[in-house]
Structure 1
Amino acid sequence: MLGLKIDLRIAPEAQRNGPYVFIANHQNSFDIFTICAAALKGTVTVGKKSLKWIPIFGQVYWLSGNIMIDRKNSGRALDTLKNTVRKMQKRKLSVWFFPEGTRSYGRGLLPFKSGAIRIAKLAKRPVVIVAASNLENKIKLNRWDNGTLIIDVGKPYDLSGERTTKEWTEHFHALMAEKIAQLDSEVAAGNR
């Protein structure tokens, strides 16, 4: 789709013993067709409440059981996070976050918000990093070949230990930045 060859790599450990909290980099609006291809069965996403106003997509997104969070109302957002933990535990669901909170549009990996880590700690579930190589200036809709996108679903990380939510958030940001750089190098080497 979109003229991209997708090289999807999933760590064997991420395919068993879930549910997990998946965190992925959010590059642009094409992510729905690209990086979301890595979502494993039994996974719902957490998205901003305003998505429901996008014709057709918003209704399908909501009806599919995905979770909408009101980022403008911290009280409601916290309630949504708590309900998400209950759903994870009751239905054995994995949850997918874009912890940057917005699309980066070529600005690199943006700072992470802490919601995904809070959920993982409250639900006592591991975090899995989903990193995708850079798509900036890569997709042109009038081309058949837009190159390769590598998507890497890593191994689960248990959040036991003495780190705070902020420290875990920064740790995962650093790990993801490192993984994206590695994937970008692989794509560049393959294009020579």
Structure 2
Amino acid sequence: MLFVLRMLLMGLHFVLAGVLGVVVGICRPFNPDNSRICARLYALPAMYILGLRVRADVGTLEDKSQSCVIIANHQSNYDLFMFGNVVPRRTVCIGKKSLKWVPLFGQLFWLAGNVLIDRGNAIKARQSIQMTTHTLQHEDTSIWVFPEGTRNFGEDLLPFKQGAFRMAIAAGVPITPVCVSRYIKPMRLNRWRSGDILIRSLPAIPTAGLTMDDMPQLIAQCREQMRNCIEAMDRQLQVA
């Protein structure tokens, strides 16, 4: 019964947050700080509705001194509510083009200045990557990417795609990994207290001076650091 009630409230909340987000987007279209505001609109009420407690240690993300590529593990659609609490200022996200067909959320995503990529069209996808590289270099704006490309449903990290790392190397900006603990299996939405979730950002990894030949090693380094961080957070929650 509690699960059903929460899902009904989440549906209502999703619509209301979408309406407010579209209003924000219409008032200041394509402002790169719209994403942070809209992320908070979704995330903060959702934590209370779902009965989740999120503890974030993201000092390296909040204190970033320049544009960067932010990479995060992607477990489920709930990531919107988890990571929404820690999106920093002037940060936009890369998403698949089909998102624009999601009522309210798709329009909000577009008006927030996020980047929609047509993964089925290699030329258009490459043009979008070039545009985001220019954004990183000249517009004091960071890019948030889920390098796995799809949800891992709380299992081990999937292989990372090259797009985020290609952008970072081309723009010469650092990569900041952000990790959330595995929450899919431990989460119990039929209980008043559904679970605890940890979010942690890691020190920025510089890319200045790297070439595309260095990309495989960079990907392996980032993936290994994120895997170790996620496992450490999972252990911390198990003994808490």
Equivalent in 147, 150, 155 of residue 107 of structure 1: 155
How do residues 9-48 of structure 1 correspond to structure 2 at under 5 angstroms? 9-12=57-60, 15-48=63-96
Shift of 1:12: 4.2
Shift of 1:83: 0.3
Shift of 1:76: 1.0
Higher mean alpha-carbon deviation, 8-17 vs 171-180, is at 8-17
Give the TM-score of the pair, scaled to structure 2: 0.75
Shift of 1:13: 6.8
One-letter code aligned to 1:175: Q
Q: Does 1:159 align with 2:207?
A: yes
One-letter code aligned to 2:215: T
Per the alignment, do residues 45 and 13 of structure 1 end up closer, same or farther by CA in structure 2, a change over 3 Å counting? closer
- Whose helix fraction is larger, Structure 1's or Structure 2's? 2
Overall identity of the aligned pairs, in %: 36
CA distance in 1, matches of 2:60, 2:74: 23
Runs of 5+ unmatched residues, structure 2: 1-46
CA deviation string 1:58-105 (max 9, x = no partner): 111111111111111111111100000112223210110000000111
Match of 1:182 in 2: 232
One-letter code aligned to 1:26: H
One-letter code aligned to 2:169: K
Equivalent in 108, 114, 121 of residue 73 of structure 1: 121
Match of 1:169 in 2: 219
Equivalences, count: 190
CA distance in 1, matches of 2:134, 2:159: 27
Higher mean alpha-carbon deviation, 14-23 vs 98-107, is at 14-23
- Whose strand fraction is larger, Structure 1's or Structure 2's? 1
Higher mean alpha-carbon deviation, 91-100 vs 133-142, is at 133-142
Shift of 1:141: 3.5
Give the TM-score of the pair, scaled to structure 1: 0.93
Per the alignment, do residues 165 and 12 of structure 1 end up closer, same or farther by CA in structure 2, a change over 3 Å counting? closer
RMSD: 1.6
- Contact 1:23–1:116 under 8 Å retained in 2: yes
Match of 2:175 in 1: 127
CA distance in 2, matches of 1:143, 1:114: 40
Per the alignment, do residues 141 and 147 of structure 1 end up closer, same or farther by CA in structure 2, a change over 3 Å counting? closer
Q: Matched residue of 1:157: which SS?
A: coil
CA distance in 1, matches of 2:126, 2:60: 33
Match of 1:4 in 2: 52
Shift of 1:175: 1.0
Shift of 1:14: 5.0
One-letter code aligned to 1:45: C
Runs of 5+ unmatched residues, structure 1: none
Shift of 1:142: 3.5
One-letter code aligned to 1:143: R
Higher relative contact order (CA 8 A, sep 6+): 1
CA distance in 2, matches of 1:13, 1:61: 22
Q: Matched residue of 1:34: which SS?
A: helix
CA distance in 1, matches of 2:93, 2:172: 18
Equivalent in 109, 126, 129 of residue 61 of structure 1: 109
